[in-house]
């Protein structure tokens, strides 16, 4: 039963970071922006993820006319 909260929280952050990197790579942003966002997330996992959720490129959905 000895699941540590820090270990579980770390695993959740890792999964969210991987998900964010996949979304960044698949986005329509420029290559430079993609590289910068991936580096921010890799160097600052939690803060980078939060910053990407707030300031990152939004999903390029279909434009409604």
**Spatial contact of 25 and 56, defined as CB atoms under 8 Å apart:** no
How many domains does the chain divide into? 1
Please report whether residue 10 resides in a domain: no
Q: Answer yes or no: is 47 within a domain.
A: yes
In this structure, is residue 44 part of a structural domain? yes
**pTM score of the predicted model:** 0.76
Q: Which two tokens stand for residue 58?
A: 């939004």
Domain assignment present for residue 16? The answer is no
- Specify the higher pLDDT residue, 5 or 64: 5
Give the domain extent around 48. 28-56
Q: Say if residue 55's pLDDT is above 70.
A: yes
pLDDT in tens, 4-38: 557 888 889 999 999 999 999 998 888 999 999 99
CA distance 19 to 27: 12
């Amino acid at each position: 039963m000895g699941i540590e909260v820090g270990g579980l929280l770390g695993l959740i952050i890792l999964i969210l970071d991987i998900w964010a990197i996949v979304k960044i790579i698949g986005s329509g942003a420029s290559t430079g922006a993609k590289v910068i966002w991936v580096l921010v997330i890799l160097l600052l996992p939690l803060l980078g993820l939060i910053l990407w959720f707030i300031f990152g490129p939004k999903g390029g959905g279909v434009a409604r006319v």
